[in-house]
Chains A and B, each alone.
Chain A
């Protein structure tokens, strides 16, 4: 009896999974930590439409500034800020206040 119940219970789960998988991929939020004057992880990959959110755990303010000037955000100490990635390509970025902080985002087109 118990086995039978389980099998019936699994059906709706499977049905839900099928729906989720058939849906187009949702935009995600990718988290990058700013700690010890470094971006962690320093290299990330994302899809167009995804958001990158920086969490500054340092005692000083930082920026995430794209080398191609497509975006520039300031992140105060103990706070977060984010950017929505609008176009595909590889973007190198750095901190304007501490140029020894560097990172890179590979943005892939959404299929």
Chain B
């Protein structure tokens, strides 16, 4: 579901690049810095909420350690992002992508809430692998290339490296449940 949004954005951008006929269409499809900031912040918050659910439900040592790492790192990145937005006087701007992200994440949380024990652990960790993969693809292919402000671009680039680490970490934890 989540993958679909970014694929849609990707397809839209690819289509515009291919046909490059209308400058207006290009600005409409390419997210602005305030929109990018909102999408990135929302994506971080979603992962923090998923981790908080895992800390409430899971008894698995590795899953709990991973979830604590997610809360700590995504909070650190978001604090840095908020400080940067304040400095740049950029106000995050709600948009269709972040609204869809939030909606899908709350559906996923409802789905996970119904599971218990190792079924929960497996579903949570599998979703973390998929989620980080999707966010990383979006950062790499859409958000970083679209960001105009260099400091925002740099923070997103650092974020990408951190989240690539999370993806590998989640993949490691996931092998426990294979």
Q: Which residues of A contact B (CB under 8 A)?
A: 36-38, 58-61, 77, 95-101
Contacts and interface: CB of A to CB of B under 8 A. Distances in A.
Contacts of A36: 158, 161
Interface size class of B (residues with CB under 8 A): 10 to 19
B160 to A, nearest CB: 9
Contact of A99 (B80, B158, B161, B168): B168
Contacts of A96: 169
Interface of B: 69, 72-73, 76-77, 80, 158, 161-162, 164-166, 168-169, 172
A67 to B, nearest CB: 13
What secondary structure prevails in chain B residues at the interface with A? helix
A38 B166 CA distance: 14
6 contacts: A37-B161, A37-B165, A60-B77, A98-B164, A98-B165, A99-B165
Given A59-B76, A60-B72, A98 B158 contact: no
B25 to A, nearest CB: 35
A106 to B, nearest CB: 25
Nearest to A99: B168
B156 to A, nearest CB: 13
Contacts of A97: 69, 73, 165, 169
A77 to B, nearest CB: 7
A60 B160 CA distance: 13
A61 B70 CA distance: 11
What secondary structure prevails in chain A residues at the interface with B? loop
Nearest to B74: A60
B169 A98 contact: yes
B76 A60 contact: yes
B76 A100 contact: no
A57 to B, nearest CB: 11
Nearest to A37: B161
B165 A101 contact: yes
B65 to A, nearest CB: 8
Contacts of A37: 158, 161-162, 164-165
